[in-house]
Chain A
Amino acid sequence: MTMPPPLPTAPTGEITKQVPLAYLVPAAQRVKISELCPLTGIMTSVTMHFPDGCNGLVHVAFGHGDKWVAPSEINTFISLNNATPVFPTSEPVVKNEHFWAEIRNGDVNPHLISVITVIVGRED
């Protein structure tokens, strides 16, 4: 009997982690929040959550260091309603650098916005 081929595995030492940035932004306020990158590797996706009620009045951007990742153009923002889009990326990242999310709330209501990024890489 022939043994089946081994299952594909990630290169030795590589793991996957998620980094969430969530904030309840008060009405007519803007915030910039930050988290440290836990791994050195590749950022594979960025997910943003816009609750129903944002109505395109809440503007979100995500990046790391000086680089804008989602959206990719500098000083641009994504503004949706009742949506949770996932943006695939292939962005090299370094452990302990800062991920940031900037949220601008142009509504009269507060909104809880979440940004989640997925990193595949190594801890050392």
Chain B
Amino acid sequence: MILVETGAYPQEGIGKPDYSREISTGQIRPGFELKYSQTLLAFLVSFSSVASAFNWFKAPLAAGAMVHCVNGATGFDLPYTTALGYTLTMISIGIALDQDVDIWLLLRVPPAPVVQRHLCLAKLAGGTPFYVPEVVSFSSATFDAEGAVSFDFDLQVTNIGGDDMEGQVGVYMILEAVGTPPLPAIKTVKCKWCEATKDVPIEATTIICDVCSNLFIVYPLRQPRGVTQP
């Protein structure tokens, strides 16, 4: 075959990779399927006296203290700032903590200058397991269906018990593009040991820090593979 000529051609829109309906479907629970324009995000924090390379692990939370959840894909604490052209929807929340706790969802929606309490996700007695696969408890599409607003999303976990708290909070979200170009192929991650930052491919998960040479682990959630069958 002869290649006669090549050249640039202006972009006219956004399609999908060839046969993407077959190759990028992610079955993460029966009846649930991510579309190509969707990305899974995990905002979580684990409190443990045993150290872990997973980026969302912190020391046990002291009584009365508050922490932000961690973006599992990068290691940075929330708030998470959505880009223009995206909506954010909560799909599940799981809590397993050994102290009384309250967990708030906060938003900063311009022109508000700071985050504001938006939803109380939990006020639980210590030791109460809690898991809810959400239908819609939070979705920015309810107030910004076109992704016209870039807003800050925060999850704050407060130990309202009497002792150091161990356990985990995990919230899964779907970030969906509303007529925008795909997410960048690079993400900035933070080392959980020395807090040095580094740019890596968005699919990266096990990372050696360039500064302290320790291993840390983040989530590669952009295109989850099949987990369960309907």
Q: Are B3 and A53 in contact (CB under 8 A)?
A: no
Q: Which residues of A contact B21 (CB under 8 A)?
A: 52-53
Q: Are A108 and B9 in contact (CB under 8 A)?
A: no
Of B2, B4, B13, B20, the residue contacting A57 (CB under 8 A) is B13
Whether, in the assembled complex, B184 has its beta carbon less than 8 Å from a beta carbon of chain A, the answer is no
Q: Are A31 and B5 in contact (CB under 8 A)?
A: yes
B interface residues, how many (CB within 8 angstroms):
23
Q: Are B1 and A33 in contact (CB under 8 A)?
A: yes
Q: Are B18 and A30 in contact (CB under 8 A)?
A: no
User: Quick one: closest A residue to B6, CB to CB?
Assistant: A31
Q: Are B19 and A53 in contact (CB under 8 A)?
A: yes
Whether, in the assembled complex, A117 has its beta carbon less than 8 Å from a beta carbon of chain B, the answer is no
Of B3, B11, B18, B182, the residue contacting A106 (CB under 8 A) is B11
Q: Are A34 and B13 in contact (CB under 8 A)?
A: no
Bound: A109/B13 CA distance, A: 10
Q: Which residues of A contact B31 (CB under 8 A)?
A: none
Whether, in the assembled complex, A95 has its beta carbon less than 8 Å from a beta carbon of chain B, the answer is no
In the assembled complex, the CB of A86 is this many whole angstroms from the nearest CB of chain B, namely: 20
Whether, in the assembled complex, A32 has its beta carbon less than 8 Å from a beta carbon of chain B, the answer is yes
Instruction: Mark out the residues of chain B between 1 and 46 whose CB falls within 8 Å of any chain A CB in the assembled complex.
Output: 1-21
Q: Are B12 and A106 in contact (CB under 8 A)?
A: yes
Q: A53-B15, A55-B15, A108-B182 are in contact. Are A32 and B4 (CB under 8 A)?
A: yes
Q: Are A106 and B13 in contact (CB under 8 A)?
A: yes
Of A28, A35, A51, the residue contacting B11 (CB under 8 A) is A28
Bound: A110/B4 CA distance, A: 19
Instruction: Mark out the residues of chain B between 47 and 83 whose CB falls within 8 Å of any chain A CB in the assembled complex.
Output: none
Whether, in the assembled complex, A100 has its beta carbon less than 8 Å from a beta carbon of chain B, the answer is yes
Whether, in the assembled complex, A21 has its beta carbon less than 8 Å from a beta carbon of chain B, the answer is yes
Q: Are A34 and B4 in contact (CB under 8 A)?
A: yes
Q: Which residues of B contact A109 (CB under 8 A)?
A: 15-18
Interface residue ranges, A against B (CB under 8 Å):
21-23, 27-35, 51-55, 57-58, 81, 98, 100, 104-112
Q: Report the 8 A-B pairs with minimum CB-CB distance, sorted nearest first.
A: A106-B12, A55-B15, A53-B16, A51-B18, A107-B15, A30-B9, A32-B4, A34-B2
